[in-house]
Amino acid sequence: MSFGTDLQASVAERGPIVAGIDPHASVLEQWGLPNTAAGARDLSLRMLEAVQGRVSAIKPQAAFFERFGADGFAVLEELLQAARAAGVLTILDAKRGDIGSTMGAYAEAFLAPGAPMEVDALTVSPYLGYGSLEPAAERVCSAGKGMFVLSLTSNPDGPEVQHARTADGVPVASVMARHAAEANAQARAAGEWGSVGLVVGATIGSAAADLGIDLDAVGGPLLAPGFGAQGAGPAQLRSVFGSAAPRVLVSMSRSLMAAGPDAGAISAACESTRADYAL
């Protein structure tokens, strides 16, 4: 099985919500937990228990674990292994991107089967050139992994790079979408989701259409931050993503964690949110 087909099945069974697990200092305080690796561990494992079976995947943000140093990495490793044991798909939001052996080491750290911090998919930055992602792309092919390529992000400064045009007049974001579509062509022809997705913010409005990007033609999943606390809602599934809406992963972090620390309340928030975003 490829990541794309595994994710497609998970979305069909559990809906499009991806639960972000981001132990912000403010969330730890809200939960009555210390702003330490131990607090992050408590929050993370409680979140996993509350959301499993109710979301298509979890998405830990690496930075909120890394800030605790070695202890934080140990918590992230434990969370990822617990999710794998529970059969929950994992997308690590780490936005790794480099060249040559360095990118190869990132791929080995996160996408190699049996690695301590093995995940099902990784967010990656292509802005050293799409070809720099080849070590991760190789793991997508050989190990059934996935990657989400930054394309049209929700931050206000993103257009400085993503809307810029190449010497041929093609928007940079469109170049990234084209590479993803090429990687996913075989899966799409078989009626399956490809394993190379894009990160496309739910708050970008008409940017994709304005740049001439056909998100449906990508053929892979679209990881969409910006829903919930950042302002986008169910209406944006259609207005931003159009016919690609069925492949949108609705990323929710703060709005789900805000329901904690009670596990029942978090589970109920997952169910309510899934109903809100049903197509």
Show which residues are catalytic. Answer: 95
% helix, strand, coil for the chain, step of 5? 50, 15, 30
Six token digits for residue 110: 């996160």
Angle CA 191–271–88, to nearest 5: 55
Interatomic CA distance for residues 33 and 25, integer angstroms: 9
Quick one: tokens of 128? 């050293």
Do 199 and 223 contact (CB within 8 A), yes or no?
yes
Element at 181 (helix H, strand E): helix 172-189
Look at residue 133 and give its three-state secondary structure.
Answer: helix
∠ Cα 171 202 17 (to 5°): 130
